[in-house]
Amino acid sequence: MSNTILEDKTVLSFHSVAGFRTAGTHCGLKPNGDNDIALVISDRPCQAVGIFTTNQVKAAPVLYDQAIVARPDAQVRGVIINTGSANACTGTDGLARTRQTAQLVAGHIGCTPGEVLVLSTGVIGLPLDMDCMARGITDLAGQVRPDGWPDAAAAIMTTDTRPKLASVTTPEGYTLTGITKGAGMIAPHMATMLAVIVTDAVIARSVLDKALRRAADHSFNRIVVDGDMSTNDTVLVLANGASGITVKDEAGFQAALTELCTTLAQAIVRDGEGATKFISLHVTGAADDAAARTIARQIAVSPLVKTAFYGGDPNWGRILAAAGYSGASIDPDTLALWLLGADGSRVIQLVEGGHPTNYDEPAAIAHMQQAEWGIQLDLGMGDGAALVWTCDLSHEYVTINGHYRT
């Protein structure tokens, strides 16, 4: 693969989390021999919350997990994650195999099947190979360890070129660690990916749920690779309280979780299928935040905009056109557009009052050839604002997805 975007920003540093053990191994779901199954377990029951795909076509493990975390008394001991098969569009058989997977894990870690969550990713419509799953779960049960996070992160990859893992240790003394996967089928409506985040903090389930939803709105729901939405999107947060430290500063916990989710979300975009550029897209001056989000998302998914990003072409008309057909209200005569540096500073103004400025075209092209930069579109209408992280659309993206199964 030619995906070389910001290799030095690969997220691999982590801290073990009290009471949690993890592992990743190969069970045969991937024919190339790469690790393809991971397990996260807690030595005690966890508070568990989750958010899931808004796609109406939901994979069997999504339906299964939603039912568990919806229970007010939900307690979770383990999460099993497989690649190779999404177990989506597999009907009642798919649900049966999901339940069987949970039963196998429960038997090894000494809990009930209802305390095991199941995540799957891979090809849609492919039945889950239960012989492989059983073999993998048996192996994982003997391999889990407190520092097994890198192996687990590597085992959940599909078209990802590198594992995605991050941690935050708070001043209060509790820790949050998370793994995620995703490189394609990424859209900002509960973005397309899998993520498991754990903490050893003592925290009320209602507070944990609220914190996850706010964190996702500021991270996973702000990323775009290609605009497609998966059948399997899931973000889980488990809290086992093993540190003995009760969260008293809810704002501090919120900040830590949002920081972690943002790091993981940006890692997905940086590793986008075929991506060569990481772009921060700021929309300001909208009538309200909702309008700004609508416009930002439309620009971020536009194939014409994204291919211009790839070519380093300051074809600003494509950006304005995408804003214009987003459905949000704009005034063409008040639009202003800037190229931004990686730090968010304004570098070159391309448009003022809806018309091109006398900008330096070679300088703009050179700026857009960099691996990381941004754009700001100001609508001049109000105080609404939004931020989305996206990437370019390259030849390699077509190659990857044109031969995904072949």
Instruction: Enumerate the active-site residues.
Output: 192
Which of 180, 236, 261, 243 is closest to 43 using CA atoms? 243
3-state SS assignment for residue 188: coil
Chain position carrying tokens 């999107």: 233
Instruction: Show Cβ contacts of residue 139 under 8 Å, excluding neighbours closer than 6 positions.
Output: 25, 27
Taking CA atoms, 192 is separated from 58, 180, 208, 381, in Å, by 12, 11, 21, 32
Residue type, 358: N
Instruction: Show Cβ contacts of residue 30 under 8 Å, excluding neighbours closer than 6 positions.
Output: 36, 83, 84
Taking CA atoms, 294 is separated from 279, 299, 322, in Å, by 17, 9, 10
Classify residue 91 as exposed, middle or buried by CB count within 10 Å of its CB (0-12, 13-18, 19+): exposed
In 41-83, alpha helices (H): 60-69
CA gap 228, 53 in Å, rounded: 12
Radius of gyration of the chain (CA): 22
CB 190 within 8 A of CB 211: no
> Which element (helix H / strand E) includes 385?
strand 384-391
Dihedral, 102, 103, 107, 111 alpha carbons, nearest 10: 70
Tokens of 290: 């909702």
Tokens of 286: 């909208």
Dihedral class, residue 77 (left if φ above 0, else alpha if ψ from -120 to 50, else beta) = alpha
